[in-house]
Structures are given as structure tokens and as C-alpha cells.
Amino acid sequence: MKQIIKIGIIICDRYKACTGGKCFRAMKNKEGAFSIYKDINNLELVGYTTCGECPGGNIEYSPEEMIKNGAEVIHFATGFVVGYPPCPYIDHFKKFIEEKYKVKVVIGTHPIPQKYYITHKALGTWDSKEWKEFIEPTLVDEQIRSAYD
């Protein structure tokens, strides 16, 4: 069994003042998108940055430094999918990083907070097949979503 996974997190620049509390809690508890690591002993954060404002100039360069620090997976923070509107470039960003840097990209970090879930459900934001796939790692159940409000 692998003992440690090194990860980088890129957040949506709209939340650039965010202190990362929900992401770090979810990492520690292996909740939301971090549940894929339930069999890994330790998760180590080796990079944390923003996309660099729309249309995401930092996406082009930031993975390189994360990978130099050992990043094996890059996560797009949950803000990418819960913002109003969600990031319109998310699919392109994921494909670009995976193609150029040959590193896995996971969409999401902490569970979607329930208050965002309610509003996006009403708006129909995630009704398409594509968006259902994007939110799948962070959807979880209502109890956990509520704990991340």
C-alpha cells in the first residue's frame, strides 16, 4: 500500500482570500474528493495557489512548480464548481494540465456546502451529464454537506 500522496491545490481566484479551512479539514478527514485516498496513510500538500483570475493564467504555469515539489495529483478546489457561475473553463483546464504535465487532475476538494447545493439545484446549474460528472467527487450526502456550510 502506498504510504503517502503529494498533492497540489489550485483554487478559483474569486476566493483568493480563502484561508483554505474547508480544504484542509477535508484533506485531514479524507472527505469529499479526498475520499479517494482512504487507503493512503498520509496526504501531503506541496502547493497551493489560485488560478490567477479569469481566464486562469496561472493554470499554465503553476502545475510545473507543484510537480517539482513532488505533486502526484492536482486538485481544483470545490470553488471551481460552486461559484456563481461555476468555472466555465474547468474542462479545458483539466485536459490541458493532464496533457501538458502528465499529472492527474481531480475536480474538487472539500464536500459541496449544503447552502451552495440548494441554490445550484434550484438554478439547474449541474443538470447536464458533464456537470454531474464534475461534481460527483464532492457531492456526498446532506449530512456531510451541511457540516461544510
Residues that bind ligand SF4 (CB under 6 A): 12-14, 51, 53-56, 80, 83, 87, 89
Closer by beta carbon to ligand SF4, 6 or else 14: 14
Closer by beta carbon to ligand SF4, 37 or else 78: 78
Half-sphere exposure of 107 (CA within 13 A, CB side): 21
Closer by beta carbon to ligand SF4, 78 or else 144: 78
Running DSSP on this structure, what letter comes out for residue 124? T
Residue 69 CB, shortest distance to ligand SF4, in Å, is: 21
For the four alpha carbons of 16, 17, 19 and 25, in that order, the dihedral sign comes to: negative
Cα gap 139→10, rounded to integer Å: 19
Residue 25 CB, shortest distance to ligand SF4, in Å, is: 21
Closer by beta carbon to ligand SF4, 21 or else 55: 55
Report helix, strand or coil for 15: helix
Alpha helices in 18-113 (DSSP H): 21-29, 62-68, 79-82, 90-101
Residue 108 CB, shortest distance to ligand SF4, in Å, is: 13
